[in-house]
C-alpha cells in the first residue's frame, strides 16, 4: 500500500513582534496559526496551540526585543508545545538573535551566552534556526543542526544607492566590522574608511574614538553596523567624521535596539539619516524624523518558503549570507 504525504506549513508568532509575523504570513496568503499565549498570576508563560500541527513543518517568528528574557522563555515554551504536538519539523525564526554579543570570552570567568542560547533552542525542540545578520558569524558554529543565516544587506544597499548614489564613503565603526563595510562598499562602488576606536571590555556601551583611516574630507559618509544599541558608537563616530571634514554623515544598521539614551543621542547627532530594518519593533516613542525603517518581511518569507520546499536559502542572497 502506498501513501501520498502532503507537507503542511504552519506559521506561528510569539508576542514580541506580531506585525512582522503577519507581514510574513501575507506573503504566503495564509493566516497565522492560532495560539493562546498569556501569563499566569506569578508571571510564568503559558502557550497552547489551538489547531492540530501533527506532521507539520512549523515556523515560529519571535524576535528578541525588550523584555528580552520574557520573549526568550516564551519562544522556548512555544517550541516545546510544537514538539509535544508532533510537528515533523520545528524552525525557530529569530530576526534578532538574543545574547549575540556574548559570543566569546573577553575576560576570565565569563559565560559564552550565545552558545547557551543555541543549546536552549535545541533542547526546547528546534530542529532548525533562522536569523538575520548575526553580530558574529561564528555563532552559526554553536549549532549542531541547520542554521539559516539571512541578511538584510540588499535592502540597505538598495536604499543607500537610491538615496545617495555612488559617490559616497562607507565607514566601518571599528576593525571588527571592516568585512561587512567592505561588502557594502563593493556593492555600491564606494570608497572605504575605518574608525579606529578603543573599548574597555570591563565597561559596557562606552567607546573612545581615536582616529579616522581613509579619505573622507568633503565626502558623504555612511556608517554601517549590525545594530544600534545605545548609539554611542554611531554618534561618536559621526562626530569624528565631521571633525575630519566629512560633508554629511548617514548611518545604516540592521537591528534598531535603541536602548536607553539612543534616540536622544541620534536626534542630537550630526547624522542626517538613520536607516534600519524592522527586525525589532520600534514603538512610537522611539520613532524620530531622521529614522527610516525598511521591512525584512519579504526576505524572511522567501527563506521560509525555500526551507519548506527544500531549496537553497543562500541562493536567495547570491551566496552573500555566510
The domain segmentation of the chain, as residue ranges, is: 9-151+298-316, 153-294
DSSP E strand boundaries for the chain: 9-13, 35-39, 45-49, 57-61, 89-94, 128-132, 147-150, 168-172, 191-198, 208-213, 220-228, 248-256, 271-277, 291-294
How many CB atoms are closer than 10 A to CB 230? Answer: 18
Pick the CATH number of 153-294 from 3.30.1370.60, 2.40.30.10, 3.40.50.2020, 3.60.20.30: 3.40.50.2020
- Asked if residue 200 has pLDDT above 90, the reply is no
Q: Is the pLDDT of residue 177 over 90?
A: no
- Look at residue 147 and tell me whether its pLDDT is greater than 60: yes
DSSP 166-193: S-EEEEESSGGGHHHHHHHHHHHT-EEE
pLDDT tier, 207 (very low <50, low <70, confident <90, very high otherwise): low
Measure the CA angle with vertex 251, ends 276 and 22; round to 5°.
5
Distance, in Å, from the CA atom of 157 to the CA atom of 275, rounded to the nearest integer, reads 10
Cell of 313: 536559502
Return d(Cα 44, Cα 276) in angstroms, integer: 33
Q: How far is CA 244 from the centre of its chain?
A: 31
Residue 288: band (very low, low, confident or very high) from pLDDT cuts 50, 70, 90: very high
> Would you state the pLDDT for residue 196?
81
How much of the chain is helix, strand and coil, in % rounded to 5?
A: 35, 25, 40
What is the pTM assigned to this prediction? 0.92
> What mean pLDDT do residues 131-159 have?
96
Secondary structure (3-state) at 314: helix
Mean pLDDT of 152-176: 91
Residue 296's Cβ-count burial label (10 Å; 0-12, 13-18, 19+) is buried
Min mean pLDDT across 104-113, 161-170, 241-250, 256-265 is at: 161-170
> Which among 183, 187, 197, 290 is annotated as catalytic?
197
Q: What pLDDT score does 15 carry? A: 97
At residue 318 the predicted structure's pLDDT band, cuts being 50, 70 and 90, is confident
Cis preceding linkage at 277, omega within 30: no
Q: Which helix (H) or strand (E) holds 124?
A: helix 113-124
pLDDT in the model for residue 81: 98
> In this predicted structure, which of 137-151, 201-215, 222-236 has the lowest mean pLDDT?
201-215
Residue 55 has pLDDT above 90, yes or no: yes
Judge whether residue 7 has pLDDT over 90: no
Mean pLDDT of 255-274: 97
Mean pLDDT of 199-203: 59
What H or E segment, with its residue span, contains residue 22? helix 18-28
Q: Is the pLDDT of residue 18 over 90?
A: yes
Q: Whole-number mean pLDDT of the chain?
A: 93
Give the whole-number percent of the chain exceeding pLDDT 70: 94
Helices 113-124, 68-84: axis angle to 10 degrees equals: 30
Nearest to 8 by CA among 83, 80, 89: 89
**Predicted pLDDT at 99:** 97
| CATH hierarchy code of domain 9-151+298-316 | 3.40.50.2020
Q: Quick check: do 9-151+298-316 and 153-294 share a fold?
A: yes
pLDDT digits (tens, 9 = 90+) for 214-257: 899 999 999 999 999 999 989 999 999 999 999 999 999 999 99
For the ranges 166-175, 203-212, 293-302, the lowest mean pLDDT is seen at: 203-212
CA distances (Å), 107 to each of 6, 21, 110, 288, 295, in order? Answer: 51, 38, 6, 37, 37
- The residue-averaged pLDDT of 198-207 equals 58
Give the pLDDT confidence score for residue 6 in this predicted structure: 72
pLDDT digits (tens, 9 = 90+) for 74-94: 999 999 999 999 999 999 999
Q: Assess whether 104 carries a catalytic annotation.
A: no
Amino acid at each position: 500500500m502506498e501513501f501520498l504525504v502532503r507537507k503542511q506549513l504552519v506559521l506561528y508568532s510569539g508576542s514580541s513582534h506580531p506585525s512582522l509575523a503577519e507581514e510574513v504570513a501575507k506573503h504566503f496568503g495564509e493566516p497565522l496559526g492560532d495560539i493562546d499565549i498569556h501569563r499566569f498570576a506569578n508571571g510564568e508563560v503559558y502557550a497552547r496551540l489551538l489547531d492540530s500541527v501533527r506532521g507539520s513543518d512549523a515556523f515560529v517568528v519571535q524576535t528578541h526585543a525588550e523584555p528580552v528574557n520574557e520573549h526568550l522563555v516564551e519562544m522556548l515554551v512555544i517550541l516545546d508545545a510544537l514538539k509535544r504536538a508532533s510537528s515533523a519539523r520545528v524552525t525557530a525564526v529569530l530576526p534578532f538573535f538574543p545574547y549575540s554579543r556574548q559570543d566569546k570570552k573577553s575576560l576570565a570567568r565569563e559565560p559564552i551566552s550565545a552558545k547557551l542560547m543555541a543549546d536552549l533552542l535545541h533542547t526546547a525542540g528546534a530542529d532548525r534556526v533562522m536569523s538575520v545578520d548575526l553580530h558574529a558569524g561564528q555563532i552559526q558554529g554553536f549549532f549542531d543542526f541547520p542554521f539559516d543565516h539571512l541578511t538584510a544587506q540588499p535592502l540597505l544597499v538598495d536604499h543607500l544607492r537610491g538615496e545617495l548614489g555612488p559617490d559616497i564613503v562607507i565607514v566601518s565603526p571599528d576593525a571588527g566590522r571592516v568585512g561587512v563595510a567592505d561588502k557594502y562598499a563593493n556593492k555600491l562602488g564606494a570608497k572605504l574608511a575605518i574608525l579606529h576606536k578603543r573599548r574597555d571590555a570591563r565597561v559596557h556601551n562606552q567607546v573612545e574614538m581615536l582616529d579616522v583611516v581613509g579619505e573622507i574630507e568633503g565626502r558623504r559618509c555612511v556608517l554601517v553596523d549590525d545594530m544600534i544599541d545605545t548609539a554611542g558608537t554611531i554618534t561618536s563616530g559621526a562626530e569624528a567624521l565631521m571633525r575630519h571634514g566629512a560633508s554629511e554623515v548617514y548611518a545604516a544598521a540592521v537591528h534598531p535596539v535603541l536602548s536607553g539614551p539612543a534616540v536622544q543621542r541620534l536626534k542630537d547627532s550630526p547624522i542626517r539619516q538613520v536607516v534600519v530594518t524592522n527586525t525589532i519593533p520600534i514603538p512610537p516613542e522611539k520613532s524620530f524624523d531622521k529614522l527610516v525603517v525598511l521591512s525584512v518581511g519579504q526576505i524572511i518569507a522567501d527563506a521560509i518558503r525555500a526551507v519548506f520546499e527544500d531549496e537553497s536559502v543562500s541562493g536567495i542572497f547570491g551566496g552573500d549570507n555566510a
